[in-house]
């Protein structure tokens, strides 16, 4: 199989991740941060090791790293834990439903109001599009760093700087960028960074991170046991305990730690460069095939992510993905849980097909993909049953 | 490396802080370890960070680096707590 669905989840996982999970299940079986016996402390050290690795990658302290089950939970925790009745929130028109549905639900419940800022080619204009929507009660800007559908990068650093000048909190959804783009919280004006563990950080599914890089600490989405101050009715007021109730996904987090180590060894810069180089080759070869309609720009470092949105003439996106599956190629079709992005680009009727690359994809796979696309279109034109 | 063999146990707010404190003190040449606090406060379960050596200096280091301490208890002669 050729796996080009890395924006959904990266696959395969590095061998060190597989080994890490296996070792965790075999040898680190105790509940970390609950008991005092050796196995519990040993397991807790492994969990802490993952916090350290994430902190080193993103430029923060280990206790700022809160483990969640995915990026969606990180976003929900931050947004719902921060906003108060009467607040106003601004999001971008490229948001995933993980942001869009959260603010829309809060709006329908009468808790907040929100506006959607347009992302355009010019960064300064994009920042202005956010700034002119600010109201006296705007509390938060929640913005993706890169579109999961079209691969456009959003200048979250510039938007965050503007937000901080105006006293507004900045949340970034780094679902598609963590592990690829340089995200250093010592220099970037980001208060809440939401990350999936299972995409560009190469951890197992069921892992995510929320990095709380500013004040206030969001109220918990979920209360319960933390292994600390157990006789008190209220959740602890310190991180990560305040936002981490219940037993964590021990083997998943230990695997995630190994995934982050993999990224740190390869470096996000080198992973990004390599995937973008492959993506450019794919883009150029696809654009030379008659009948391919491309919805992404030619991949440019700093402007785009290594993914391409396209359709094939005369075929729906789902049909195209099913045909590619017959060739042993895994891509994602449809709307990618991103209603706003598809409306923006006018692809809200048929959706698009998305090719998204990862660390283990090769030039041979890219070329085989283009041959399969050309073959599908040729058969379509010749009226052969496909 | 600190040659003082006294041990001091600092109660910390969470195991995460205990482990971070351990790493920090080890970087400064201390022998330190995180463990369960067997004499928890009225607030409930907790963890402690035990350090061999100059407790005052260790405490200052921990505070300077944002490690939240609840209390400290010293014992002499190198015995573990």
- The DSSP result for A29-56, as a single string, is -SPTTT--SHHHHHHHHHHHHHHHHHHH
Contact criterion met (CB < 8 Å) for A33 and B43:
no
Contact criterion met (CB < 8 Å) for A238 and B68:
yes
- Answer whether residue A237 shows pLDDT above 80: yes
Average pLDDT over residues A64-69: 98
Phi, psi torsion values for A108, nearest 5 degrees? -65, -30
Chain B residues with beta carbon closer than 8 angstroms to that of A241: 13-14, 16
Chain A residues with beta carbon closer than 8 angstroms to that of B38: 36
Chain B residues with beta carbon closer than 8 angstroms to that of A52: 23
**Which of B19, B20, B22 to probe the A interface (max A CBs under 10 A)?**
B19
**Dist. CA A359–CA A364, nearest whole Å:** 14
A68: left (phi over 0), alpha (psi -120 to 50) or beta: beta
Relative orientation angle of helices A268-287 and A363-381, to the nearest 10 degrees: 30
A354-371 per-position pLDDT tens digit: 999 999 999 999 999 999
Q: Residue A198: its pLDDT value, please?
A: 98
Q: What percent of chain A has pLDDT over 70?
A: 99
CB-nearest partner of B19 from A44, A238, A241: A44
Q: Residue B75: its pLDDT value, please?
A: 56
Q: What percent of chain B has pLDDT over 90?
A: 58
CB-nearest partner of A230 from B15, B36, B44: B44
- Answer whether residue A222 shows pLDDT above 60: yes
B44-73 per-position pLDDT tens digit: 888 999 999 999 999 999 999 999 887 666
- Answer whether residue B6 shows pLDDT above 50: yes
Contact criterion met (CB < 8 Å) for A36 and B34:
no
Q: How far is CA A150 from CA A171, A273, A349, A376, in A?
A: 21, 18, 16, 23
B67-81 per-position pLDDT tens digit: 988 766 665 443 333
Q: Residue B40: its pLDDT value, please?
A: 77
Chain A residues with beta carbon closer than 8 angstroms to that of B81: none
- Whether the CB-CB separation of A352 and A309 falls below 8 Å is answered with yes
Q: Residue A14: its pLDDT value, please?
A: 98
Q: Name the average pLDDT for chain A.
A: 96
SS3 A65: strand
Average pLDDT over residues A154-165: 98
Contact criterion met (CB < 8 Å) for A63 and B17:
yes
Higher pLDDT, A350 or A79: A79
A89-129 per-position pLDDT tens digit: 999 999 999 999 999 999 999 999 999 999 999 999 999 99
Contact criterion met (CB < 8 Å) for B16 and A236:
no
Contact criterion met (CB < 8 Å) for B15 and A32:
yes
A322-332 per-position pLDDT tens digit: 999 999 999 99
Domains and CATH numbers, chain A: 15-266 (3.40.640.10), 267-381 (3.90.1150.10)
| Residue A170 pLDDT class (50, 70, 90 cuts) | very high
Q: How many contacts, defined by CB atoms under 8 Å, are there between A and B?
A: 67
Q: Residue B73: its pLDDT value, please?
A: 61
Contact criterion met (CB < 8 Å) for A33 and B15:
yes
Chain A residues with beta carbon closer than 8 angstroms to that of B66: 61
Where in chain B are the domains? 7-73
Architecture of domain B7-73: 2-Layer Sandwich (3.30)
- Answer whether residue A166 shows pLDDT above 80: yes
A285-301 per-position pLDDT tens digit: 999 999 999 999 999 99
CB-nearest partner of B46 from A228, A238, A240: A228
| Residue B38 pLDDT class (50, 70, 90 cuts) | confident
Q: Residue B79: its pLDDT value, please?
A: 33
**Dist. CA B54–CA B19, nearest whole Å:** 19
- Answer whether residue A46 shows pLDDT above 50: yes
Q: Residue A176: its pLDDT value, please?
A: 98
| Residue A386 pLDDT class (50, 70, 90 cuts) | low
Minimal C-alpha gap between B61 and chain A (Å): 16
Asked if the ipTM is above 0.90, the reply is: no
SS3 A60: coil
Q: Residue B4: its pLDDT value, please?
A: 67
């Amino acid at each position: 199989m050729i796996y080009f669905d890395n924006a959904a989840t990266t696959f395969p996982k590095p061998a060190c991740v597989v080994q890490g999970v296996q070792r965790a299940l075999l040898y680190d079986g105790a509940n970390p941060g609950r008991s005092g016996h050796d196995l519990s402390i040993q397991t807790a050290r492994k969990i802490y090791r993952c916090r350290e690795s994430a902190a080193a990658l993103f430029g923060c302290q280990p206790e700022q790293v809160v483990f969640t089950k995915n990026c969606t939970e990180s976003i929900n925790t931050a947004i719902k834990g921060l906003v108060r009745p009467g607040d106003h929130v601004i999001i971008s028109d490229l948001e995933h439903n993980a942001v869009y549905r959260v603010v829309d639900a809060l709006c329908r419940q009468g808790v907040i109001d929100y506006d959607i800022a347009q992302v355009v080619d010019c960064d300064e204009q994009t920042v202005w599009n956010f700034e002119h929507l600010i109201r006296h009660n705007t509390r938060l800007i929640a913005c993706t760093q890169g579109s999961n559908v079209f691969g456009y990068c959003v200048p979250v650093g510039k938007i965050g700087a503007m937000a901080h000048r105006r006293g507004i909190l900045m949340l970034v959804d780094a679902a598609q960028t963590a592990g690829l783009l340089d995200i250093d919280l010592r220099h970037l004006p980001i208060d809440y960074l939401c990350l999936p563990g299972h995409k560009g950080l190469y951890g197992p599914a069921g892992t995510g991170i929320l990095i709380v890089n500013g004040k206030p600490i969001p109220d918990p989405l979920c209360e319960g046991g933390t292994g600390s101050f157990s006789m008190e009715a209220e959740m602890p007021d310190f991180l990560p305990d305040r936002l981490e109730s219940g037993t964590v996904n021990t083997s998943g987090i230990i695997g995630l730690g190994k995934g982050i180590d993999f990224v740190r060894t390869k470096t996000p810069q080198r992973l990004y460069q390599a995937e973008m180089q492959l993506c450019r080759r794919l883009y150029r070869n696809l654009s030379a095939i008659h009948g391919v309609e491309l919805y992404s720009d030619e991949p440019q470092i700093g402007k785009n992510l290594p993914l391409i949105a396209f359709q094939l003439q005369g075929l729906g996106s789902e049909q195209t993905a099913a045909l590619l599956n017959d060739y042993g190629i895994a891509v994602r079709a449809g709307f990618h849980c991103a209603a706003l992005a598809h409306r923006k680009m006018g692809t809200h009727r048929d959706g698009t097909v998305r090719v998204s690359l990862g660390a283990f994809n090769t030039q041979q796979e890219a070329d085989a993909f283009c041959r399969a696309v050309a073959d599908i279109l040729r058969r379509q034109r010749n009226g052969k049953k496909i | 490396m600190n040659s003082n063999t006294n041990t001091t146990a600092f109660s910390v707010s969470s195991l995460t802080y205990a482990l971070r404190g351990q790493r920090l003190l080890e970087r400064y040449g201390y022998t330190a370890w995180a463990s369960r606090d067997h004499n928890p406060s009225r607030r409930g379960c907790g963890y402690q960070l035990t350090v061999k050596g100059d407790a005052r200096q260790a405490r200052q280091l921990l505070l300077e680096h944002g490690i939240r301490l609840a209390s400290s208890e010293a014992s002499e002669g190198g015995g573990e707590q």
